[in-house]
Structures are given as structure tokens and as C-alpha cells.
């Protein structure tokens, strides 16, 4: 069931924002009143990390702010930003992350990869830190740089991942918002071994060649998000969103037989859905 949340990564990745083109009064860009948004839709994702088979799954995302404390979901992960926003255009971002990694935890379409041992769900816990600058092109945009660090605490891959991310989001009108994102990911040796190595026993079971994967630079990804407010105002009511991203595996993650022989280093993701902001 947790795969349901696998594309919430950027569906609601920036706070509601408004361009300065309306007869109605514009909201204060430093407004810190409580808000809550929930989105749901369908996503097109790889069967596993490195697969060239795809599936359609349900997708949900939430974001909000209570008493100045912001929270949001990305993929299967929940972020909570404990640093309250002030009047300065430059703000710090800092808080915990908790989530689940579901890579190769269920049925795989590719028979060779499916014959490999099924992996356990990894519960990853960590934190993020970064900075966000507001007002680069208008009072409501945001340019942010963040580094996420998480570690599996459930005895699955038992490794650490580090993900630097750059996000930029801005409204193009009172009802239309776009967001751009770029990220990279480093993974430890235990992560590479758990998901991408092929042991002699695995080779006999699957027919894939033996492979010993090392950690390091794992992948990069770029993405684009669009959000259109059906209510005509991004700060409340119904909206529709669309998301597309492209990523590329690297190093031993790319060279692993489950990718090089049975999958693809190119990884696509797409999602469509509706959201409601209270």
C-alpha cells in the first residue's frame, strides 16, 4: 500500500503563490497563516529503480503549515520544517525526514529480476538543511537549495543516502504556478550491494551474471511541475496538477545487470491529479 505514495515527491513542492496581475488585493507574501493542501491522482513510474517496465499507481501528497511550522511530502517521505519564516527574503530550512523505500519489495514484471530475492521495506530517517531566497523575480517566487541525509533504520539496506536539491517555483498568474527541480543522489556501499549486486547464488537463480556493486554517485534527476487553480486563486479551492521528471543512473548502479541487461539507466516519471487547498 505504501507504493501509493511513490510520486508525491514534488506534486505540491512549493507554497501557494500569486502573480501581481489581478484586480483583487494580493495577499501578503510573508503571510504565515495556517493552510493545508491535499492532492491525489495517478502516476506512471518504473517497476523498480533501474527498470524499463512501467506501471500506473495511485498517488497522493500533502503539504501545509500550522503555527508557522511547515510540512510536506515528497515521494514516500514526510518533511517537517521547524524554522518559521520571517520578513527577510532569505530564510533557513531545517528539520527531520522520515519515510519508506519500496524498491523491489513486490512483484517485478521482468522474470529475471523477479527471480532475485525480494527486498525488505527500508525505513529511512534523517534530516534536511538548506536556504530559500524569496523575491528573485517577484514577491512570491522561491529559489531554494537543500541537502537531505537519510539512513535506513529497519535493517534493509542499512546505508546512508545524501541528496542535494535545487528548486525554483514561481506563479505565472494568480491561477497558474510552475516549479523546476534538479537533484543528485549519493548512496553508500551497503545500499549498492543490497539493491544492485548479484551474488553467485542469485546468479544461479536468475541467470544474471555475478556483479559486485560499489556505492558512490547514484543518479541525477530534473523535473517540472505545473499547477492550475480551478478556483482562479492558488491560495484556496480546487486545482489540477501535472508533473514530469527524467533521471539517469550512474556508476555501478547503471552497470548492474538488473539495469544494464534487464532495464534502463534512463528513468521517467509522470503524474496527473487534483488538489484542494483549505
Q: In the numeric block, which cell numbers belong to residue 177? A: 504556478
| Weakest-pLDDT range from 24-28, 144-148, 227-231 | 24-28
Q: In the numeric block, which cell numbers belong to residue 23? A: 484586480
**Distance between CA atoms of 55 and 150, rounded to whole angstroms?**
26
Q: Is 4 helix (H, G, I), strand (E, B) or coil?
A: helix
> Which DSSP helix (H) or strand (E) runs through 51?
none
Distance of CA 110 to the CA centre of its chain: 25
Distance of CA 223 to the CA centre of its chain: 10
User: Would the CA dihedral through 182, 108, 273, 9 be positive or negative?
Assistant: negative
Q: Got the DSSP string for 237-269?
A: EEEEEEEEEEEEE-HHHHHSHHHHTTB-SEEEE
Q: In the numeric block, which cell numbers belong to residue 16? A: 501557494
Using a 10 angstrom Cβ sphere, with 0-12 exposed, 13-18 middle and 19 or more buried, the burial of residue 94 is middle
Cβ pair 253, 29 in contact under 8 A: no
Q: In the numeric block, which cell numbers belong to residue 121? A: 521495506
Other beta carbons less than 10 A from residue 249's beta carbon = 24
| pLDDT, tens digit, 9 for 90 and up, residues 192-233 | 999 999 999 999 999 999 999 999 999 999 999 999 999 899
Q: Is the pTM of this model over 0.85?
A: yes
User: What's the pLDDT at 268?
Assistant: 98
Q: What residue ranges do the domains of the chain occupy?
A: 2-277
The third-level CATH classification (topology) of the domain covering 2-277 is Porin (2.40.160)
User: What's the pLDDT at 26?
Assistant: 64
User: What's the pLDDT at 87?
Assistant: 81
| pLDDT, tens digit, 9 for 90 and up, residues 169-196 | 999 998 999 999 999 999 999 999 999 9
Amino acid at each position: 500500500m505504501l507504493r501509493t505514495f511513490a510520486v508525491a515527491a514534488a506534486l505540491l513542492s512549493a507554497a501557494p503563490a500569486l502573480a501581481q496581475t489581478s484586480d483583487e488585493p494580493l495577499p501578503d507574501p510573508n503571510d504565515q497563516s495556517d493552510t493545508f493542501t491535499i492532492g491525489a491522482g495517478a502516476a506512471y513510474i518504473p517497476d523498480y529503480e533501474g527498470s524499463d517496465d512501467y506501471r500506473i499507481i495511485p498517488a497522493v501528497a500533502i503539504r501545509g503549515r500550522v503555527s508557522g511550522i511547515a510540512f510536506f511530502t515528497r515521494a514516500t517521505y514526510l518533511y517537517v520544517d521547524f524554522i518559521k519564516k520571517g520578513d527577510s527574503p532569505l530564510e533557513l530550512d531545517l528539520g527531520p525526514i522520515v519515510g519508506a523505500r519500496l524498491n523491489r519489495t513486490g512483484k517485478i514484471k521482468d522474470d529475471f529480476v523477479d527471480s532475485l530475492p525480494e527486498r525488505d521495506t527500508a525505513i529511512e530517517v534523517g534530516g534536511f538543511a538548506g536556504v530559500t531566497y524569496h523575491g528573485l523575480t517577484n514577491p512570491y517566487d522561491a529559489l531554494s537549495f537543500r541537502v537531505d541525509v537519510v539512513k535506513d533504520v529497519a535493517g534493509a539496506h542499512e546505508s546512508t543516502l545524501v541528496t542535494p536539491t535545487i528548486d525554483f517555483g514561481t506563479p505565472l498568474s494568480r491561477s497558474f504556478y510552475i516549479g523546476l527541480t534538479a537533484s543528485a543522489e549519493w548512496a553508500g556501499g551497503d545500499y549498492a550491494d543490497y539493491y544492485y549486486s548479484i551474488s553467485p547464488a542469485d546468479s544461479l537463480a536468475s541467470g544474471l551474471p555475478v556483479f559486485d556493486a560499489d556505492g558512490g554517485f547514484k543518479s541525477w534527476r530534473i523535473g517540472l511541475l505545473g499547477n492550475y487553480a480551478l478556483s482562479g486563486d492558488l491560495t484556496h479551492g480546487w486545482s489540477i496538477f501535472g508533473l514530469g521528471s527524467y533521471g539517469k543512473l550512474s556508476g555501478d548502479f547503471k552497470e548492474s545487470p538488473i539495469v544494464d541487461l534487464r532495464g534502463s539507466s534512463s528513468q521517467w516519471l509522470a503524474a496527473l491529479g487534483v488538489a484542494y487547498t483549505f
